[in-house]
Amino acid sequence: MKTIIEPFRIKSVEPIKMSTRSAREFYLQAAHYNPFLIYAKDVIIDLLTDSGTGAMSSEQWAGIMRGDESYAGSVSFQRFESTIKDIMGFEYVIPTHQGRAAERILFSILCKDGDVIPNNTHFDTTRANIEFRGAEARDIVIDEGMNPSTDHPFKGNMNIQKLKDTVNSVGRDRIPLIMLTITNNSGGGQPVSMENIREVSNFARSVEIPFYLDACRFAENAYFIKIREEGYKDKTVRAIVEEMFSYADGCTMSAKKDGIANIGGFLCSNNPDLAQREKDLLILTEGFPTYGGLAGRDLEAIAIGLVEVMDEDYLKYRITSTGYLGENLLKLGIPIVQPPGGHAIYIDAKMMLPHIPPNQYPGWALACEMYLEGGIRSVEIGSVMFGKHDFEQKKDVVHAPMELVRLAIPRRTYTQSQIDYVIESMENLIKRKDKIHGMKITYQPKFLRHFSSHFEFLP
C-alpha cells in the first residue's frame, strides 16, 4: 500500500474553536506579537511544540488510574525505573518534572565557571542551564548541519575533528562532559548516525570525559538509523535504541517528547557517586528520588509511552507524516531544512524572506504571519531565540546562524486533513511574502527571551 494511515483510532476528542483573521489580529496584538503569549484556545492548529502535547494511548490512561501515589518507593516508580533500565541500560535513574530539571541538576553538579560543553547543537534550555553555571555551550555540528538546503542523511552528526580540536585547545579538565542531542532539535530535528554516536563515544572514552545523550527523541533517531544507515535495516528499533545507549555514560531526557507523556523527564548515569549527589540536589528542589516532582500516575504514563514509542508502525507513520508536510511545503516553493526532520518541519525564513535582516527577526515575523493567516502557532528558532543582546549598548550583538520557523508536530494528535489545512494556509501566505514586515523587540528579559519578550511589526 502507498497510503500510510494513522495507526490508531480516535477515542476521545477536544474541540477546536475556529476564528476569523480580524479576531486573530486582536489576539496577536493582545499577546504583544509573541506566539508564546497567545491563549491556546485562540489557536487553530498548534505546532508550537511536540513537547507534552501528544495524545496518550488508552493504555497510558489506564496506567494513570493505576498510579501509586505513595511518597516513597511506589510501585509506579519501580515500573518507571525498570522500564528505563531495561531500554537504556543505565544503572541509576532519577525522575525529574521535565527535561530541563534533569539538565539543571546535571550541570549544577558537573560544571564550573569557564568550562566548555561540546554538543552537536544545544537546545535552548540546555544552553541556558550551562551558561547559568558560567560555562560555555559550544555547538559543533557537521558543516552540512548548518546549511538548510544541503541533503545529508545524518545532519545532526557532530564534527569529530572539531570535537578533538576543542578538547585539545580547551583541555580535558575544563570539559566535564560531551553531549549529543538526538535528534538534533535546534539544528532542524536531524538525526545522528550510529557511526557518529560510536565515534564520539570512543573519543570521549579515550580522553576519559563522560559522554551523555540528550535523549528526548531517541526513538525517532533510531528509526532514521534503521531506514538510512547501512547495516541497520533488518534490526529492530528496540535493538538500535539499546545499541545507541550502550555507547553513553548517561542521559538527560524529556519524557514529554518520546515518552509520549504530558509531563516528566529523567536523568540517568552509571556513576554511583554522581547519582548520589544528583539525588541530594533533587530532594532540595524536585522531590524524593522515587518521584522527583512527578505524580505516580505520570511515572506510569512515561513507562508505557517509552515502550509504545518504539512501535515501528507508529514510527513509520510519524516520520512519513512529518515528511508529508515538508514535501508539500517544498512543492509550494517554501524553503525548508532538508531532508525533513522527525518531529518537525523547519522553514528557512532567511531564504523565504530575504528582505528582512536578522536584526528584524524574519523567523519571528513569519511565525506571526502564519498565526494571522490560519491560526497556526509555530516557533521561531533564530535570532530571537539564540541572538545575544547587549543591554548596555541596547542592541543585539550576536545573531543566530540560521533563521528557522519550526512547525512541530504533536504525537498522534492531528489528522492529515488538519495538516492539509496548514499547507493551504501556507499557499495563501506565500503569495504575499514580499509584503511581510520585520519586527522589533519592545521588552526583553535577560534569559530565554523568546518566551516572554514583547514585539511590534516595523512600519
Of positions 123, 154, 211, 266, contacts ligand F0G by CB under 6 A: 123
Q: Compare residues 262 and 338 and give the one whose CB is closer to ligand F0G.
A: 262
Q: How distant, in Å, are the alpha carbons of 89, 258, 282, 344 from that of 92?
A: 9, 20, 13, 31
Confirm if 265 and 97 have CB atoms less than 8 A apart. Answer: yes
Taking only Cα atoms into account, the Rg of the chain, rounded to an integer number of angstroms, comes to: 21
Three-class SS state of 93: strand
Of positions 76, 83, 98, 453, contacts ligand F0G by CB under 6 A: 98
Scanning residues 48 to 67, which ones bind ligand F0G (CB under 6 A)? 49, 51
Of positions 43, 137, 179, 216, contacts ligand F0G by CB under 6 A: 216
Confirm if 225 and 264 have CB atoms less than 8 A apart. Answer: no
Kindly write out the interface string for residues 230-259 of this chain, putting x where it contacts ligand F0G by CB under 6 A and - elsewhere.
Answer: ------------------------x-x---
Distant-in-sequence, close-in-space partners of 86: CB < 8 Å, separation ≥ 6: none
**Counting every residue, how long is the chain?**
459
Shortest distance, CB of residue 295 to ligand F0G, whole angstroms?
A: 16
Could you give the angle at the alpha carbon of 132 between the alpha carbons of 448 and 164, nearest 5°? 105
Region of 3-11, 92-100, 131-139, 355-363 interacting with ligand F0G (CB under 6 A): 92-100
Q: Does 214 bind ligand F0G (CB under 6 A)?
A: yes
Q: Compare residues 407 and 439 and give the one whose CB is closer to ligand F0G.
A: 407
Scanning residues 397 to 416, which ones bind ligand F0G (CB under 6 A)? 408
Distant-in-sequence, close-in-space partners of 13: CB < 8 Å, separation ≥ 6: none
Scanning residues 261 to 290, which ones bind ligand F0G (CB under 6 A)? 265
Confirm if 439 and 382 have CB atoms less than 8 A apart. Answer: no
Region of 75-83, 112-120, 122-130, 142-150 interacting with ligand F0G (CB under 6 A): 122-130
Q: Compare residues 264 and 438 and give the one whose CB is closer to ligand F0G.
A: 264
Q: Does 346 bind ligand F0G (CB under 6 A)?
A: no
Q: How distant, in Å, are the alpha carbons of 192, 204, 214, 297, 413 from that of 167?
A: 21, 10, 20, 43, 43
Measured distance CA(296)–CA(294) in Å, rounded:
6
Shortest distance, CB of residue 146 to ligand F0G, whole angstroms?
A: 17
Nearest 10 degrees: CA dihedral of 382, 383, 388, 393? 180
Of positions 19, 70, 78, 125, contacts ligand F0G by CB under 6 A: 125
Q: Does 126 bind ligand F0G (CB under 6 A)?
A: yes
Q: Does 322 bind ligand F0G (CB under 6 A)?
A: no
Count of residues in contact with ligand F0G, rule CB under 6 A: 16
